[in-house]
Amino acid sequence: MGRAKIPMEPITNPRKRKTTFNSRNNGMIKKARELATLCDVKVSMIIFTEDQETPQIFPPGDHDKLIRSIDVYSRTRRTNPESIKCYTLSDYYADRKMKVEEELVKEKKKNLEAKFPSWFGFLDSFSEAGLREFAVGLENKIVDV
């Protein structure tokens, strides 16, 4: 049995909102740590809340890493903005739509080939000379008809 879907709207109950924030925040930090460790990539996060005077930073205690990451991002953005990929929800849906359309085209092609076969398996074993001889035979039959 799965979990119930949570509607994507702000939580009005402050206590429930704080609890949800803490659990999801911990989950995000855990995922960032796993991503950095398993894939050997640099991951930085800044988390702002109205309750905190200073933002929460990942990796914790290493402000220099965060500043270096921001500098690399800024430099890359200025020199080569096309190289930075921002993957948005619309990008996700566009990719998903493209995959579904490709799958649909493959299935339509498979159905068409099943309905109207265009190649006979026995032709695979023919040599070039054999195929030419077969073509001449077909032409003769067309002429006879």
Based on the fold, state whether residues 67 and 98 are members of the same structural domain: no
- 119 token code pair: 């190649």
- 138 token code pair: 């077909």
Q: What total number of domains does the chain contain?
A: 2
- 28 token code pair: 């995000």
For residue 45, being part of any structural domain is answered with yes
Q: What is the pLDDT of residue 1?
A: 58
Based on the fold, state whether residues 76 and 103 are members of the same structural domain: no
- One pLDDT digit (tens) per residue for the chain, 145 residues: 567 887 778 888 989 988 998 899 999 999 999 998 999 988 888 888 887 778 888 887 777 878 888 888 888 878 877 777 777 888 889 989 999 999 999 999 989 888 877 777 777 788 888 889 988 998 999 998 8
Q: Residue 56's beta-bridge partner residues?
A: 47
Based on the fold, state whether residues 53 and 108 are members of the same structural domain: no
For residue 103, being part of any structural domain is answered with yes
Helix H or strand E segment including 47: strand 45-47
Q: What is the pLDDT of residue 35?
A: 92
For residue 113, being part of any structural domain is answered with yes
Q: What is the pLDDT of residue 140?
A: 92
